[in-house]
Structure 1
């Protein structure tokens, strides 16, 4: 074992050890009592300080149990297979990329014990919870991080009120001036929900109980990676625990140290013995003899001209070779290997064979092989998705988070705005027409309302408003009856009533002036102000209710769940708004009678006799609030977006079915309602392979 130490420079070069127990990091450790004890002891040693009561530990435990641990284990299973077979890897310490003294109390920490879990390296006195994980593309960095995350999350669940480890994707750091603290808080709210007014996540950071596990630093691009590295150094200077994962080539290119991390490990290329052991575990030992006897394959064991590891010494690619190797089709480079893997997974023979071998009788995305999308359509759609993910600096796809900015061409964006504008104009015109119809006659009111609505929708659709197209979901209701919740509900209700009153009076004054031109100024103002007063109070009441009740649900168990939740929220909002909608229609009738100088004593009888006139229109008023406050608008926008993308040939109409098919083909991975490519290398390959012409 070679070591070259320079204590004065705080560096240790090429201290390489065989981490023959690396399987223990990626493979479930629960069957090992010794590993469980080790993890529990580490959690208690590192995080057992008395924790302040203001930390919301209940929310943290729910997040770990319901989201983090299931997601981590699903991703490990998808990466390693149901048996979670991992290959042993070698770690080399790369302390030149971090900054710390190598000796503490005279002890040398230059070597890694081959029998240690990664969490034990993370705990070492000299590293003390500040670790950098490096490696070549496909070397297993993310798998190592997931293995460490599984150990930390499991230990945190076994030992409540100690630490809250959470995975983050640094590719979503989009604001160069944003601190890591602000970004973490933003991501926690965006990914896991909660109300910002309670400052749950701010408390986690202030009390140092959040343990950020940061993947994907290399996905930012060199310039932004450099800026992010500076921000990470600022964060790690005062924060006690953090793990960062990055490709070594991109990290070296930036030429900036993470000075405030204390340890760095780099996953090394596989040795001949490690490759043979892995092939043996898959009953593919003969493939090694084939490699040794094939000059082409031997060449793939050697480093590339860019000093990258040989293709067959990278775990991801040796796995793919096991799947696709054919003596009649030699493999010459990475792109060639990925192409052969894609072709194999999409070939009809492979698809039919897998259906025959499906002894468990699982449900397929498409009923028959004939129903499955064509080879070219699959490639084209995956290329389009990969490009959109790259453009948005993300590695995960949620169908409901697709935005109009994903539409590439100007004429398609105009088509999207026009369709959306006409639909919204039609809905708005129908509702306004019914209300106006109570005053001037139903037929005339509907004609006027629809004409005005369609003109408004046409104008709205033709005018491009930058930054105004984002689709905002309203996903669920969360009703609380605690004393604090009741007090906050009352405050929101009062604010809503006051705001509604002001808006209603202004709106009523405008309506009154318009009607005054037709029926006389006195009648118009009386009608407008009374209508505005009653309708505005109802608007405020509904707004106060919805503002207090709506709360985004962040657990994604099904594809496109956010849109279905928004549709459900629209129905709830409509139901809650209906009684108030009826009252609003009654306000029109009352305002009209008062403006006509009817006796107030006659109003109860008039309202009773005319009840059929406001029960049905009240439904449309309720639908109006359901669309604009309850999530209906998001559903319409999403429908228009999907329609335009489908018409252009970018995606199939049933996108969830297509994505599930790609999961079956092992091109994508799925966790709940989230999809990601099998590996970042595959995402990059699809993104660079071009897309079909869009109509």
Structure 2
């Protein structure tokens, strides 16, 4: 914000106490400042130091804000490109050596769209997801069956929105978040409901949105910006939320989550543009609907699309093998399973068309396909740019065991994303392990208190023995209170503290996790069983997570 050089535009600053300003008898000359008479009349020009300082600070703040937005855009762009690159669809192309010609195998958008109160209708041929997004003014719900490509469609839309944001600086920045990580406690939800009820007719005293705290926490955790910066972005409408996994949260919380999302679309916290993705069955079972302007339903592939796709990538023999099996055709109409079929077809050791066809139900056929994919990826040869990536290997049995436990814990907590620092006492299975964990945690707490109390009582009584005795009694008292009130399911925020390391030691001793968990997770990421975004890990698909969760623990 530059100050005008035109002297006619210069205005006197507001008078402070004890100072009068006489506008009528004073002529303001550019670059001039004077004091006249005993009444201390002040004359100022545009070189006023305070004005210049404030101008400098505002300009600096504006520049900093722009730089923050650019950094966020780069981080989101990197995340979207990485996740698309590591998708199963892209992996199948890489495996066939046609990565450099993706335009040859792009699938058209095969979907139904519903706008407002109009009935659903097929999307015209060659319509892009961006055109659908614009037609509903940026408020879109993406629905589909498991494996239909909801997340991929979400990422593809985010990719083109990022390009738009680059070209239009005032356009909001897309931010990808997964709703399965929303874990608001019951007390906060009840307080929010009561507050909404009490302030229903009071527009000037509305409670903060239920999702606000979670939004700030997730963006801060993923991208590293301060709460104040994120809050400013939200207030100024500079964020475009892409909320995936509405169906992946706790079933009892999904209705409340929909209410909380609708709250973001109203009032002073209004998000004018917002995208949500969910499985259609879980969404339709809810008693409430999202107040978005339009929805898109991703349909299964047609037989012609499957045949054309396989023909394009020179795998028409797959089509010839499955075209007469209706159940297998129904399965590969789901894009996820078509991509897995392409990836595993050439692995004769773990995949056989005849065995696949012998499976009785569609579920058994899906399990066989997921098992074949799992075994192929475990034996996958890695040529990575990472240093020493192949020096650290894990046996098949240990890898399966660790992944089974991870998947079971994620499903138990209704989550799809995993952070190492979120490991807590709920991972412990036996009462003995829980008791040992609580005892050692209490001892750490008691030792800490003992040191604090000793220094206090020594300063008060100046007697070594009295200080030790009182410190011991007070520390033991508060330690017992801590022991009986200790919640083992609470997350340990600092993964480098003693409590966290001791918990991981117990889990490692019991064979639940490897000692170097980050190295193991990266090992599985290289084998396309997991994806990594920042410090977070997730299975390559929720169906693969469910597949591992249903497996028994390995010996």
TM-score by length of 2: 0.70
1:101 Cα deviation after fit: 5.9
Is the CA contact 1:321–1:337 (under 8 Å) kept in the aligned structure 2? Answer: no
- The corresponding residue for 2:536 is 674
Q: Identify which of 284, 288, 295 aligns with 1:252.
A: 284
Paired residue secondary structure (2:342):
helix
Is the CA contact 1:404–1:469 (under 8 Å) kept in the aligned structure 2? Answer: yes
Could you tell me how far apart the structure 1 residues matched to 2:368 and 2:513 are? Answer: 21
Q: Identify which of 387, 391, 403 aligns with 1:367.
A: 391
Could you tell me how far apart the structure 2 residues matched to 1:420 and 1:644 are? Answer: 12
Could you tell me how far apart the structure 1 residues matched to 2:478 and 2:490 are? Answer: 14
Could you tell me how far apart the structure 1 residues matched to 2:489 and 2:540 are? Answer: 34
- The corresponding residue for 2:73 is 64
Q: Identify which of 382, 393, 402 aligns with 1:381.
A: 402
Could you tell me how far apart the structure 2 residues matched to 1:643 and 1:457 are? Answer: 26
Could you tell me how far apart the structure 2 residues matched to 1:419 and 1:62 are? Answer: 43
- The corresponding residue for 2:314 is 283
1:208 equivalent to 2:237? Answer: yes
Q: Identify which of 161, 170, 190 aligns with 1:161.
A: 170
1:320 equivalent to 2:337? Answer: no
Paired residue secondary structure (1:329):
helix
Q: More displaced, 67-76 or 651-660?
A: 651-660
Structure 1 residues 207 and 315: CA distance shift in structure 2, 3 A: same
Taking the TM superposition and a 5 Å limit, the aligned residue runs for 1:72-151 are 72-79=80-87, 80-81=90-91, 83=99, 85=102, 87-95=106-114, 99-100=116-117, 112-124=123-135, 127-151=136-160
Could you tell me how far apart the structure 1 residues matched to 2:486 and 2:131 are? Answer: 54
Structure 1 residues 230 and 453: CA distance shift in structure 2, 3 A: closer
Could you tell me how far apart the structure 1 residues matched to 2:232 and 2:263 are? Answer: 19
Paired residue secondary structure (1:261):
coil
- The corresponding residue for 2:516 is 654
Could you tell me how far apart the structure 2 residues matched to 1:640 and 1:335 are? Answer: 41
Could you tell me how far apart the structure 2 residues matched to 1:164 and 1:291 are? Answer: 44
More helix, by proportion:
1
- The corresponding residue for 1:510 is none
Structure 1 residues 191 and 280: CA distance shift in structure 2, 3 A: same
1:146 Cα deviation after fit: 0.4
1:229 Cα deviation after fit: 2.4
Could you tell me how far apart the structure 1 residues matched to 2:389 and 2:355 are? Answer: 30
- The corresponding residue for 2:432 is 411
1:375-398 per-position Cα deviation (integer Å, ceiling 9, x unaligned): 2x3223212211222233321111
- The corresponding residue for 2:205 is none
Structure 1 residues 73 and 367: CA distance shift in structure 2, 3 A: same
Structure 1 residues 53 and 660: CA distance shift in structure 2, 3 A: closer
Paired residue secondary structure (2:295):
strand
Taking the TM superposition and a 5 Å limit, the aligned residue runs for 1:544-583 are 563=495
Is the CA contact 2:113–2:122 (under 8 Å) kept in the aligned structure 1? Answer: no
- The corresponding residue for 2:411 is 390
Q: Identify which of 283, 299, 305 aligns with 2:327.
A: 299
Q: Which runs of 5+ in 2 are unaligned?
A: 1-60, 193-208, 345-350
Could you tell me how far apart the structure 1 residues matched to 2:467 and 2:312 are? Answer: 73
Could you tell me how far apart the structure 2 residues matched to 1:428 and 1:328 are? Answer: 67
- The corresponding residue for 1:173 is 182
1:641 equivalent to 2:480? Answer: no
TM-score by length of 1: 0.57
Could you tell me how far apart the structure 2 residues matched to 1:267 and 1:373 are? Answer: 39
1:402 equivalent to 2:385? Answer: no
Could you tell me how far apart the structure 2 residues matched to 1:316 and 1:469 are? Answer: 35
Structure 1 residues 56 and 232: CA distance shift in structure 2, 3 A: same
1:226 equivalent to 2:255? Answer: yes
- The corresponding residue for 2:301 is 270
1:214 Cα deviation after fit: 1.2
Could you tell me how far apart the structure 1 residues matched to 2:124 and 2:279 are? Answer: 24
Could you tell me how far apart the structure 2 residues matched to 1:455 and 1:692 are? Answer: 41
Could you tell me how far apart the structure 2 residues matched to 1:672 and 1:182 are? Answer: 21
1:155 Cα deviation after fit: 2.3
1:76 Cα deviation after fit: 0.4
Paired residue secondary structure (1:354):
coil
1:344 Cα deviation after fit: 5.3
Taking the TM superposition and a 5 Å limit, the aligned residue runs for 1:484-633 are 563=495
Could you tell me how far apart the structure 2 residues matched to 1:421 and 1:115 are? Answer: 63
Could you tell me how far apart the structure 2 residues matched to 1:221 and 1:420 are? Answer: 30
Q: How many residues align?
A: 450
Could you tell me how far apart the structure 1 residues matched to 2:379 and 2:182 are? Answer: 43
Is the CA contact 2:426–2:488 (under 8 Å) kept in the aligned structure 1? Answer: no
Could you tell me how far apart the structure 2 residues matched to 1:438 and 1:181 are? Answer: 46
Is the CA contact 1:133–1:246 (under 8 Å) kept in the aligned structure 2? Answer: yes
Q: Which runs of 5+ in 1 are unaligned?
A: 1-51, 103-108, 302-309, 474-562, 564-633
1:330 equivalent to 2:362? Answer: no
Could you tell me how far apart the structure 2 residues matched to 1:221 and 1:429 are? Answer: 41
Is the CA contact 1:423–1:457 (under 8 Å) kept in the aligned structure 2? Answer: no
Q: Superposition RMSD on alpha carbons, in Å? A: 3.9
Paired residue secondary structure (2:514):
coil
Could you tell me how far apart the structure 2 residues matched to 1:454 and 1:648 are? Answer: 31
